[in-house]
A and B are shown apart, each in its own frame.
Chain A
Amino acid sequence: DAGVTQSPTHLIKTRGQQVTLRCSPKSGHDTVSWYQQALGQGPQFIFQYYEEEERQRGNFPDRFSGHQFPNYSSELNVNALLLGDSALYLCASSLASGGHKGFGNGTRLTVT
């Protein structure tokens, strides 16, 4: 029973570019949440997807967008990358009814 999987593991982009990160939830989970963790900080909630719609959003600009597919997997897109977007991006999955939230291994994004 696979847990939460994320790809790619590492990514280097140039300022102004766009990036797409991917997440497959734990089997049986239907809700995916994305978090940004800057170096030395706690994770910050970006948004959550359920039934292919954004259900809740944190304090992030519109440059951050996402998508959820019928198989519950999800993508995080970031446009017009800034140096400050360099961080570890974490995906968590859970059931819509709540409960345990398991995290993937993350994607480390470096913007140069």
Chain B
Amino acid sequence: DAMVIQNPRYQVTQFGKPVTLSCSQTLNHNVMYWYQQKSSQAPKLLFHYYDKDFNNEADTPDNFQSRRPNTSFCFLDIRSPGLGDAAMYLCATSRDLQARGNQPQHFGDGTRLSIL
């Protein structure tokens, strides 16, 4: 049973054309994260939401935005995708920011974004 669901699994867009990736969760977790993962590299955190509080990583380009309209859904918007933005985008959730009992993050399958 998928608990963190990302749609679509594969997304193709054109250079400069805005694209939105979606993530939903059935865990009722407070925290949702977006990562960018390039080939054979570790995931790189872009930003996260704690409830409605948005936290951007210092080195995340302005081209990347996020929305969280409710607890279950979180979106990643890329305003003007460049060739360097082609990557796997991972969504993850966590019950809280504190590691009570070592609560890990739960990851989705990812969306692989290609730029033409």
Do A and B truly interact?
no
B residues within 8 Å of A by Cβ?
Answer: none
